Copies of this chain bind each other. A is one copy, B any other.
Amino acid sequence: MFKDFKLIDERPVAIQVKDYMKRLIIKGALQAGQKLPSTRELGGLLKVSRNTVMAVYADLEADGFVYVLQGKGSYVAALADNASAAAPSWQMDWTARLNGNARLAEELDLMKHGIRADRGTISFTSIAPDEKLFDLDNVKRAFLDRMSVEGNVLLNYGYAKGYKPLMDYLLRYMDHKGVDLKGKDILITNGFTEGFDIVLSALSRPGGSVICENPTHHTALKNLKLHGFDITGIAMERDGIHLGELEQALAQRAYDCAYFVPSYHNPTGIVMSPEKRLALMKLMERYQIPIIEDGFNEELRYSGSHVSPLIAAAGQGNNVVYIGSFSKVLFPGLRVGWVLADRELIYYLESVKRARSIHTSTLDQSILYQYLYNGNLEKYLKKARAEYKRKYEWTMHCCREHIPYTSLSGDGGLHLFVTFPEGFSTRELLDACRKQGVIFTPGDIFFTDGGGQNTMRIGFSRVSDEDIGRGIRMIGGTAKQMMS
């Protein structure tokens, strides 16, 4: 006994010894009534100081694991419950108890059934930001600044609606995007996904239906399906959703709501033109359909003029629910997003949020707030945009050079979308490329109607210039071979 004890670095020695002894007692290796080695003896066996062992024994006694007989030594206490020995142990079939929701969540879970990168593979599957760009020092400073202002407050319970300074900051931020805030309110969520999920869980109903771009963001598709929505996808044109098809669909049946990604649309990378935005808003008014707007990557504009979100175009109207996040622009690890919408709606969503997770991490919110307040976003965006723009242009160049596409889209953002001739299979292309160490996201997962077998998404944000060059050449070469 005592031979398997191994000290690890940095963690206090006394804690390690206590944990070790506690485990021996709980697991029954040291039995009730058994005499423990003297402090000197155990110190020698574990190669720790006698003082440490004395402190540990005192602690174990205080915790009820050990008792002391004066002048005799320390003994293992009888644990109040050695229930583990006596309680019946039985197995049940959990999968048989799972409902359809859990099964569907698993079935639609791309992280489980998607494409995995082996080590050394050039992977174009990610559209997360490049962590090499993160300005860690400013994040550290934001944390320390905020902790020194109100550390105690940050670590205790916060409010379901959000951390007040951040809420106020984001309201101003949206005001600066031209949003009329009158009658509107904000709810902070754990990123876009929770915001979207909360909105859907408040609006879903049996036989619910939604209309959206086709293709579209696959996590949104997943959550719409999980909430039982029937999904109608409308084709994309070079400047955004096909208005003719949209109107036709709207004329045919009623929809509970629409879901649109007007900027750097995922996966096509298309920015909806200002004219189309206006026409879209008119159409939605005519059919009285509320819009859930995904503010995805709005900040990643590399050139051209300012384009306002749909919720700004709605003016004093309350028909747009805007969901924003800095995840793709700043730090996805900070799980912070926001829902900006009609005040009455937010009042209910706040209760849904509270029932789900009490509130979003106050530390995440306060760090983001202080980081923004310190003026870091502007500085960071300048640097990040320059780098992503360079990569974007290089990836565009490589695709034009090597890939036999029929169309290539992407007005900015962190990814491009490639369409091959009808009949071409990007799944087959993926199989062939993967063997050569290159992967991408096959486009079919973004389609609402089983289409898109001839499409793929190329995320370039986390791939080096050299790998972008090599990878795209390889994909292009393989595609050409398959075509011939």
Contacts and interface: CB of A to CB of B under 8 A. Distances in A.
A364 interface: yes
A27 interface: yes
Q: Is the interface of A mostly helix, strand, loop or mixed?
A: helix
Interface string A340-366: 011011011111101111111111100
B77 A305 contact: yes
A90 B305 contact: no
A193 interface: yes
Interface stretch (A12-20, A46-54, A408-416, A429-437): A12-20
A178 interface: yes
A482 interface: no
A155 B134 CA distance: 8
Given A99-B203, A331-B155, A87 B278 contact: yes
Contacts of A30: none
Which interface residue of A197, A285, A306 has the most chain B CB atoms within 10 A?
A306
Interface string A101-121: 111011011011000000000
A334 interface: yes
Interface in A344-402: 344-345, 347-352, 354-364, 367, 373-375, 378
Nearest to A128: B157
Interface in A60-110: 63-65, 77, 79-81, 83-84, 86-92, 94-95, 97-99, 101-103, 105-106, 108-109
A374 B11 contact: yes
A194 interface: yes
A156 B333 contact: yes
A139 B77 CA distance: 34
A86 to B, nearest CB: 6
A363 B348 contact: no
A157 B333 contact: yes
Contacts of A81: 274, 277-278, 307-308, 313
A136 interface: yes
Interface in A257-302: 274, 277-278, 281-282, 285, 288, 290, 301
A11 B106 contact: no
Contact of A361 (B136, B156, B190, B222): B190
A363 B334 contact: yes
Which interface residue of A87, A226, A364 has the most chain B CB atoms within 10 A?
A87
Nearest to A25: B306
Given A10-B374, A97-B203, A342-B94, A87 B26 contact: no
Nearest to A109: B351
Contact of A65 (B105, B112, B203, B306): B306
A335 interface: yes
A317 interface: yes
A256 B97 contact: yes
A44 interface: no
Given A95-B348, A105-B352, 10 more contacts: A64-B305, A83-B274, A84-B178, A92-B318, A102-B351, A140-B151, A155-B332, A193-B358, A333-B363, A357-B357
22 contacts: A15-B375, A19-B172, A65-B306, A79-B308, A83-B274, A84-B313, A87-B285, A88-B317, A90-B285, A92-B290, A92-B318, A97-B256, A102-B348, A105-B202, A106-B348, A140-B143, A140-B144, A153-B333, A155-B334, A156-B332, A193-B355, A361-B361
- CB-CB nearest 4 A-B residue pairs: A81-B274, A64-B305, A12-B375, A102-B202
